[in-house]
Amino acid sequence: MKKILFTGFAPFGGDKTNPSWETVSRLPEQIGDIRIVRRQMPVEYDGVAALLEQAVREEQPDAVICVGQAGKRSVITPELVAVNVKDAVSPDNAGVSYAGEPIRADGPAAYFATIPVRDIVANLKAAGVPAVLSYTAGAYVCNCIMYHLLDLLSLRFPRVLGGFIHLPFSCDQVCEHSASVPSLPLETMVKGLTIAAETVGRYLDAD
């Protein structure tokens, strides 16, 4: 049986929940012939790398999909690329902020996702789940964990696929923000991640 490790983030920015973990935690234990395992990650630049590596070593998955929140987006956005930079005005949950510093000083400028992001977007759209391919994961902790993941897999687990998916706010978060903030129901986002897992599973079968 194949195994996919999903990670989601703890709440940040004053929110009580984070749709990435709320969605990941609602995934079934098994999707077809794929076993689903999950870990919650802290919203910390300097805290995610070691925890991520520990999870990959313990679970020995065939693929890893990290999931995060992109509150200004209105659709599910699989990310194509992670860049080697930490640069955001807002501090992380540990109070740490960076301005243009590399994630790994001697690392490559960028990594491309190795999960089939274009197929995931196509399959989401075909199922009526709003989605678009994203070409930037930003420069906050979401991009940081995606870069750490792909760097880790490239150096130590080259047969494991990896990528990142951004989710909008969930509908229940909107009451804490402006009514004009875009959102999706958790049920829709669970469906989206389920389709993503199925797509990756078929890709693994064909490999």
What does the pLDDT look like over 140-198, one tens digit per residue?
Answer: 999 999 999 999 999 999 999 999 999 999 988 776 666 678 899 999 999 999 999 99
pLDDT of residue 172: 81
Count the alpha carbons within 13 Å of 199 in the hemisphere toward its beta carbon: 25
pLDDT of residue 178: 62
* Annotation says 79 is catalytic: yes
* Annotation says 166 is catalytic: yes
- Which among 44, 79, 144, 148 is annotated as catalytic? 79
pLDDT of residue 187: 97
- Which among 22, 66, 142, 144 is annotated as catalytic? 142
- Identify which of 127, 131, 123, 137 has the alpha carbon closest to the alpha carbon of residue 200: 123
Q: Which residues does 199 contact at the CB level (< 8 Å), separation at least 6?
A: 116, 119, 120, 123
pLDDT of residue 176: 67
Superfamily of domain 2-206 in the CATH hierarchy: Peptidase C15, pyroglutamyl peptidase I-like (3.40.630.20)
| Cβ pair 84, 155 in contact under 8 A | no
- Which among 166, 171, 176, 198 is annotated as catalytic? 166
pTM tops 0.85: yes
**Cα(97)–Cα(101) distance, rounded to whole angstroms?**
10
